[in-house]
Amino acid sequence: MDRGIRATWYDLEADGKNEYLSWLHQVHLPEMLARPGYLWAAHVENVVSSEREARNQTRLAHVTDPSVPTGFQYLLLYGAPSPHVFVDPTPSELRAGLSGEDQKMLGRQLRARSCIFVEADRVEGPDGGRRGPGVTPGPIIQFGTFNINALENEAEMSAWYARSRLPLVKPQPGSVGARKLVSIDGWAKHAILCEFSSLKAAETNLADPSDWTRRVVGNLIHAPHSPTLGVRIWPPVQGG
């Protein structure tokens, strides 16, 4: 079971992007998957548009701390049986052991923000079969990362995920599944990772206008540009 997830959001300069992507997909990710405990890797190109940004900024509160990196064009994910796979060695220790060329290529990740998560709960959707290869996340990934605005609101948020949000996602057409996560490293303490078989399903199947939802969502402080929504570009989606 892949209960540990390491996630990195980052931006890329247009100059040299193709060279970096070729290296990442053809060299680095296969090498990472050869490491003990690494079950899967996924690279996601996020949907970046002024319309989506405006919607998110209007309805959600986002962190304003300038020390929190703001990258969001791409999302790099790894899965493991336990989050401790990603701290033995730690990310900085792992990077220090790479070749100079590999470190140079990783240095092209701009405004990178990372978290290491452990799964608190998950649901499987009707399109769970769209995962692959193996337990790699589905074709479309929406990833919300956030903290709570006050400690006294945290239990209600967790209850909402258990009783409302995860049960809402589970039966939706186009839903591959969803995972509620908490972090052992990184700015965001909480996260929700939703997987879909199409962008249309991701954009239409999560509406919930209830008062409870509005109250809970109003108590969240999101990471920059959260939630991100993107298309998995590696490994290639089977069947297009």
CA quadruple 109, 22, 141, 128: dihedral positive or negative?
negative
Q: By residue range, what is the domain housing residue 96?
A: 4-234
User: Does residue 239 sit within a domain?
Assistant: no
Report residue 221: phi and psi, to 5°. Answer: -115, 110
> What local confidence, expressed as pLDDT, does residue 66 receive?
97
What's the angle, vertex CA 144, arms to CA 23 and CA 168, rounded to 5?
A: 125
Residue 198 in domain: yes
* CA distances for 6 relative to 9, 90, 96, 114, 133, angstroms: 10, 11, 18, 7, 18
Residue 187 in any domain: the answer is yes
**Residues constituting the chain:** 240
Residue type, 155: A
Q: Is 42 within 8 Å of 234 (Cβ atoms)? A: yes
**Is pLDDT above 90 for 134?**
no
Residue 239 pLDDT: 63
For the stretch 197-207, pLDDT in tens is: 999 999 876 77
Q: Is residue 66 part of a domain?
A: yes
Separation between Cα atoms, residue 212 and residue 147, nearest integer Å:
18
User: Is 35 contained in some domain?
Assistant: yes
Look up the CATH number of the domain holding residue 171.
3.30.70.100
d(CA 164, CA 208) in angstroms, rounded, equals 9
Segment 101-111, tens digit of pLDDT: 999 999 999 99
128 pLDDT higher than 60: yes
Write the pLDDT tens digit of every residue in 179-237: 999 999 999 999 999 999 999 999 876 777 899 999 999 999 999 999 999 999 999 98
- Let me know if residue 240 belongs to a domain: no
Q: How many domains does the chain have?
A: 1
